[in-house]
Structure 1
Amino acid sequence: MKRLFLNIAFLALLTGTFSSCKKQLDENYLNPELTTTGSMSKLLSGMYLNKRIHPSYWDYYTFVMAYTGAFSQTVALSPGAQMYIPSTSYTENRWVDFYDGVTGTDYNYDGPGIMSNYREMQTTYNALTASQQEEQVVFLKIAEVIVYDQASQMIDLWGDIPFSESNSLNTTRSLSYAKFDDAASLYDTMITNLKSLNTYFDTATVATTQATALSTGDLMFGGDLSKWQRYANSLRLRLLMRISNYDESTAKSEVTTMLNDAGTYPMISSNDYNAVVWMNSTTLRSDLNDVFTGYPYAPAYLLDTMMVANGDPRTDVFWDAGKNGFKGFPSNGTSSQYDAGGYATYDSATFFYNYNIPAVLMTAAEVSFLKAEADERWSIGTAQTDYENGITQSTAFYYSINNKMVLKTGDYTTLTAPTATTISTFLLQSAIAYSGTTTEKLAKIYTQKWMNYFILQAGQAWAEYRRTGYPVLHFATSTSASGSTPPDRLLYPSSEQLYNSANYSKVSAKDTRDTKIFWDVN
């Protein structure tokens, strides 16, 4: 496909603010497919409208629930011969959305591409005077963090990807075919550049002339650079831990430096700093009712084994009981059992009818679990404290989603968050308590991190499951000769073979469903 080819029409500058009507949302960002004159603020806003960042019907129905959620068993998949064979059209659509996006204003189906917006920002920035660049570089730095987050997710799905030469029409205004960059090298580059971004955000100030535009364009943090610094460092921690089995010496050295100097490397340490974007009932809303109707049931290992058996305080905010009570669909269940139903479903107020399911990029709970792993493996800090903080933060975050619900229909009372005593009691359960051998402790950290990701970060859940091998999940064997179990990666879109054949040929040997991503060395 043409990540190289951006968007061929360039024209229409949009203005406005992210507030109370669809017209204003449409005007808040600049679509690089429709413009010759860039606005750094509006191009930044456009990144948030990418349908793989905010919870969109199309992403959840065709990708999250069917693939990353199903392959990480945070979703109960209906049994069938093709259950582990991703649709090539749906995976190609995921690929296209990262690079070029889809023109349109129905953000359940459309939205600008991450790379097209970023390349257009670079082009706009390069055309500015030196003094203008000094004032507006902040937009580019913020966009870099988003790009690295999203690019790393692409790597986690496919491996080598076009990056350094992608979207040439946004930069040179000429068509060229992009090479596939080595996945491990790209990770190294992002890890290095995120360290530089930490330094930048630590001392950067926002010019008075840009304050309003940044506050308006940054739909997540409202231009608060201290929060961007925390997000950049937390993302760097994620990437370092992701490569920690592949290149432990680098990961250990860099993570130790970061965790031993929280003043220099602040991270997302509480839910107040979470990298999330809350939705708006009349503009950009998460209307996933049809998604949960199509993929309704809790998976048995997550619900029965990990939550109900241990009295997990998140049970009520995750699930509604079915005819069979709080029972999940078993991994070896039959299609007849699936069709018969009666299993627990996603909670009505928190998920089923909630217009305000947030876009989740990074949470304090994830950071705590990553720190706990580093603590346990490398004796950096207090692993038990970070582990227990992660569970507490995860519980509070999910109850906050319920408490901020904006209902599509129905009349539901918000749930009362569990008390500290309730959480303390839960932390003493034998399957949860931070005790045992190092292997057993790490298994608990990995499993709780997987639970925290849930469906809102199913891509991260799948990546960490492949990296760590935890939790120990059992998948039914399908009858398909093309794939009887979940794949290790996705196949490249057929359009890469067709339009970018010379560059594709250099990675074609890796293009199999059982080729592992470089960090997957288990």
Structure 2
Amino acid sequence: MKIKSLYLYVLLAAGVASCTESQFEDAYTDPSKLAETTVGKQFSGMIYSNREFVLPSYWNYFVIHRITNNRYNQAVGWVNVENQYVPGSAAITDRWNSYYNVLGQFREIEKVYNALREDEKADKRIYMITGAAFFYDYTQQVVDLHGDIPWTAAGMLSTNGGDYTKSYASYDNAEDIYTKMLDDLAGFADELNTIEIEPAVLTEFRTQDLINKGNIEKWKAYVNSLRLRMLTRVSGSSTFGARATAEINEILSNPATYPVVADNADNIQWDVFSLGTILPANTFQSGLEDWNGNIASKAIIDHMLENGDPRLPYVFEPGLEAEGEYLGLDPLMNATDQTELVATNTLSIYNRSTISRNQYFPGIIITASEVHFLAAEYYLKNNQAAMAKTHYEEAIKQSLAFYQYLRSISNNNETPAPEAPSDADMAAYLQEGAVSWDAAASAEAKLKLIAEQKWLHFNVVQPIENWSELRRLDLVELTFWTDQSNQQSLPPNRWIYPGSEATYNLPNYSVVQGEDNLTNKIFWAK
């Protein structure tokens, strides 16, 4: 029996040995190798178990994103092949199994926590709040890929004392999952403002927290920025529209109570401190570059070139034989011509020193640029034009600073560091016709600007967020080759479920089977 397919994970006790922050950063102790467990150790174990889907890894980029989201986003160029719009089974299955491993780890945190005395629960409450926030972040990604998923009853084998008959998981409605997460996150946001943490627990938390190093202010910003992302994602649905408007207004109107990520110094990310200890140091290089996975698309290069985008030399580099010219691969060329063009080494590629060969590239979770784009959209839709423009332009400035930061921490110099653009360069860019807020004649045109700039910012760095926002707004004009040989002739609207669901979880899968196709839209999609 394939246990993973049934979410029946028998989990090893997870945790990390007590150590100083600097010792942990140097060693990245594998929490699954320790015999005894605590809430803190389970918390670290859950985050650690998801490391390859936060930090840029070979498996996530080469096996999963290379043939799915990076293409659906036209963040990359590729040679057209038949069946290219059907997500591969390995990509779907590996992402699915990874999520349910993390879910199982979270259930273990709950199990250990629930066994504590009431006074101990109060002391350890910070782990439950922050652990749930991290888990909900990942849950949103999976819901946005698939829609309904097994959730409430999933990962319960250990909790159910090993009883398999009680541990088969039914599917939860995607809207219900969003409701639960938004309810909890709103409560967490308030709770973090009043929580009192014992000094000894805070010292432990600073060691166990792999993301924010025990910084409560950053966890507040994480929770509220995640709320902002989720609320915006569902803001166009009839179920959530009024709620989204009210809660986004509450967040943005009360920065002291509900802080968000407003500057790159506040970005939520998993930093790399010591090479080769948590992931092999070259894993991003092979994940993005192998099999020409880092070729630039014509759409993204043309947009940056035509508008003098100051991020261009940070994000891309000319092909080896391009004599300094930038060129993206046209998706409408026939495959033979595309193959010949790739072989000339004249096509632009993602900047290796900034991105794929930057061994200190962090695991990006939420950036200031994204948050400002979300705020710009809210203010635009609520007729606050001046505020919308301010956040839109700040988002672009933060995006440039973000890529400059990535280049500054890189230990690779194969591509020379670009000359930093001046404030005047940025001001000129913001006045370009296809970028200028004032030149956009309607609210829809201004929303299109936000969508395009978010697409440029996310590119290959945040593929799932990129694909979700492209589907939600449907405002970035991308043209795809039509695959006449397959029923799925254009990019899908969602991922289907892995085949193991029909094989090992059939009674529950049969309930959603009728909706399990590539054309069915997630409830928030336009």
- Counterpart among 207, 213, 221 of residue 204 in structure 2: 213
- The whole-number CA distance in structure 2 between the counterparts of 1:505 and 1:181 is 13
Q: Which residue pairs with 2:47 in the alignment?
A: 47
SS in 2 for 1:288: helix
Deviation at 1:263, TM superposition (A): 2.4
- Counterpart among 340, 347, 350 of residue 343 in structure 1: 347
- The whole-number CA distance in structure 1 between the counterparts of 2:18 and 2:419 is 37
Deviation at 1:357, TM superposition (A): 1.7
Q: Which residue pairs with 2:107 in the alignment?
A: 119
Q: Which residue pairs with 2:85 in the alignment?
A: 84
Please say if 1:330 is aligned against 2:330: yes
Spell out, residue by residue over 1:436-486, the C-alpha distance to the aligned partner (whole angstroms, 9 max, x if none): 211111100111111111111110111111111021111111233241111
Please say if 1:394 is aligned against 2:399: yes
Tell me the matched-pair count: 502
Spell out, residue by residue over 1:21-44, the C-alpha distance to the aligned partner (whole angstroms, 9 max, x if none): 9993234x246xx85634424532
Decide whether aligned partners of structure 1 residues 224 and 461 sit closer, same or farther in structure 2, where only a CA change above 3 A counts. same
Please say if 1:186 is aligned against 2:177: yes
| Matched residue type, 1:302 | I
Spell out, residue by residue over 1:374-428, the C-alpha distance to the aligned partner (whole angstroms, 9 max, x if none): 1111125611000000000011011101101133xx6555445432222111101
Q: Which residue pairs with 2:299 in the alignment?
A: 301
Q: Which residue pairs with 1:313 in the alignment?
A: 310
Spell out, residue by residue over 1:144-199, the C-alpha distance to the aligned partner (whole angstroms, 9 max, x if none): 11111110110100000111111012422333111110001111111111110100
SS in 2 for 1:297: coil
Q: Which residue pairs with 2:66 in the alignment?
A: 65
- The whole-number CA distance in structure 2 between the counterparts of 1:429 and 1:188 is 40
- The whole-number CA distance in structure 2 between the counterparts of 1:208 and 1:275 is 24
- The whole-number CA distance in structure 1 between the counterparts of 2:378 and 2:11 is 48
Q: Confirm or deny: 8 A CA contact 2:42 2:109 kept in the other structure.
A: no
- The whole-number CA distance in structure 2 between the counterparts of 1:146 and 1:11 is 19
| Matched residue type, 2:316 | W
- The whole-number CA distance in structure 2 between the counterparts of 1:404 and 1:43 is 28
- Counterpart among 117, 129, 132 of residue 144 in structure 1: 132
Q: Confirm or deny: 8 A CA contact 2:14 2:41 kept in the other structure.
A: no
How do 1:485-500 and structure 2 match up within 5 A? 485-500=490-505
Gaps of 5+ in 1: 101-113
- Counterpart among 479, 504, 507 of residue 509 in structure 2: 504
| Matched residue type, 1:423 | M
| Matched residue type, 1:397 | F
Spell out, residue by residue over 1:197-228, the C-alpha distance to the aligned partner (whole angstroms, 9 max, x if none): 10011122331111222111112211111111
Q: Which residue pairs with 1:284 in the alignment?
A: 278
Deviation at 1:68, TM superposition (A): 1.2
- The whole-number CA distance in structure 2 between the counterparts of 1:20 and 1:303 is 43
Higher mean displacement: 248-257 or 346-355 = 248-257
Decide whether aligned partners of structure 1 residues 312 and 379 sit closer, same or farther in structure 2, where only a CA change above 3 A counts. same
- The whole-number CA distance in structure 1 between the counterparts of 2:423 and 2:14 is 53
Deviation at 1:20, TM superposition (A): 7.0
Deviation at 1:264, TM superposition (A): 2.1
SS in 2 for 1:361: strand
SS in 1 for 2:497: coil
Q: Which residue pairs with 1:236 in the alignment?
A: 227
Deviation at 1:12, TM superposition (A): 7.4
Q: Confirm or deny: 8 A CA contact 1:318 1:347 kept in the other structure.
A: yes
Higher mean displacement: 442-451 or 76-85 = 76-85
Q: TM-score, normalised by structure 2?
A: 0.90
SS in 1 for 2:157: helix
| Matched residue type, 1:52 | F
Spell out, residue by residue over 1:330-385, the C-alpha distance to the aligned partner (whole angstroms, 9 max, x if none): 12123233333220011120123111221111111001001101111112561100
SS in 1 for 2:207: helix
- The whole-number CA distance in structure 1 between the counterparts of 2:195 and 2:416 is 43
Q: Say what the alpha-carbon RMSD is for the aligned residues.
A: 2.1
- Counterpart among 228, 242, 245 of residue 252 in structure 1: 245
How do 1:131-210 and structure 2 match up within 5 A? 131-174=119-162, 175=164, 176-210=167-201
Decide whether aligned partners of structure 1 residues 439 and 22 sit closer, same or farther in structure 2, where only a CA change above 3 A counts. closer
| Matched residue type, 2:373 | F
Please say if 1:373 is aligned against 2:342: no
- The whole-number CA distance in structure 1 between the counterparts of 2:486 and 2:415 is 46
- The whole-number CA distance in structure 1 between the counterparts of 2:24 and 2:392 is 42
- The whole-number CA distance in structure 1 between the counterparts of 2:477 and 2:144 is 20
Identity level (%):
28
Q: Which residue pairs with 1:439 in the alignment?
A: 444
